[in-house]
């Protein structure tokens, strides 16, 4: 007979522990995406290695990190951009079906960016970086980000999904 450590807990405590674990382990993940535009009007996009599609650069917030610090870290890691000027929050997007990996809450921030100065840090994650004029933008972006980029292109501020 095997010893089950959780079996020694009272039934109510086990139920409470399961409920706490359910909430802790199933929380939305907070991230930031950069709607970056150069001074000559080109939009910064990255090509994801997992899907081969273009996307806004960005990622998830790390423990102990501010959104602003995350934005600067992610755009440097993914796009090789060293100079970024934050303009305004385009919107907060939280549709649980947007990202098939997890429930993401994404804060999209409009920024003025300098062109990339170095390659992406992880080529297994990001295949390439591109700068696109409006008429050159890909028709579909990864992770249903078309509405995010459209809102940034239209100059929207403070959308709340």
pLDDT, tens digit (0-9, with 9 covering 90-100), for 110-124? 999 999 999 999 989
Which residue in 77, 87, 125, 128 is the catalytic one? 128
Residue 25 above 70 pLDDT?
A: no
Q: Do residues 66 and 155 touch, judged by C-beta distance below 8 A?
A: no
The one-character DSSP state at 130 is: E
**CATH, range 28-160:** 3.90.79.10
Residue ranges of the domains in the chain?
A: 28-160
Percent residues over pLDDT 90 in the chain? 78
pLDDT, residue 84, reads 97
Residue 149 above 70 pLDDT?
A: yes
Instruction: Name the pTM for this structure.
Output: 0.85
| 35 pLDDT tier (thresholds 50, 70, 90) | very high
Rg (C-alpha) for the chain, rounded Å, is: 19
Residue 5 above 90 pLDDT?
A: no
Half-sphere exposure of 16 (CA within 13 A, CB side): 5
Residue 81 above 80 pLDDT?
A: yes
Cα(74)–Cα(77) distance, integer angstroms: 5
Mean pLDDT on 89-99: 95
Q: Do residues 133 and 45 touch, judged by C-beta distance below 8 A?
A: no
Residue 128: active-site member? yes
pLDDT, residue 4, reads 57
**Of the ranges 9-18, 24-33, 69-78, 125-134, which one carries the lowest mean pLDDT score?**
9-18
Q: Do residues 60 and 29 touch, judged by C-beta distance below 8 A?
A: yes
pLDDT, residue 6, reads 56
């Amino acid at each position: 007979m095997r010893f089950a450590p959780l079996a020694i807990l009272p039934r109510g405590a086990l139920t409470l522990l399961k409920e706490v674990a359910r909430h802790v382990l199933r929380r939305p993940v907070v991230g930031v995406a950069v709607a970056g535009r150069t001074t000559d009007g080109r939009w910064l996009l990255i090509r994801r290695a997992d899907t081969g599609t273009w996307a806004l650069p960005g990622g998830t917030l790390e423990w102990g990190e501010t959104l602003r610090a995350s934005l600067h870290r992610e755009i440097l890691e993914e796009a090789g951009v060293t100079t970024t000027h934050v303009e305004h929050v385009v919107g907060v997007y939280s549709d649980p079906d947007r990202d098939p990996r997890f429930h993401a809450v994404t804060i999209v921030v409009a920024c003025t960016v300098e062109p990339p100065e170095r390659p992406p840090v992880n080529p297994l994650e990001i295949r390439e970086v591109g700068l696109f004029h409006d008429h050159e933008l890909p028709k579909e972006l990864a992770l249903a980000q078309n509405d995010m980029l459209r809102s940034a292109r239209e100059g929207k501020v403070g959308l709340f999904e």
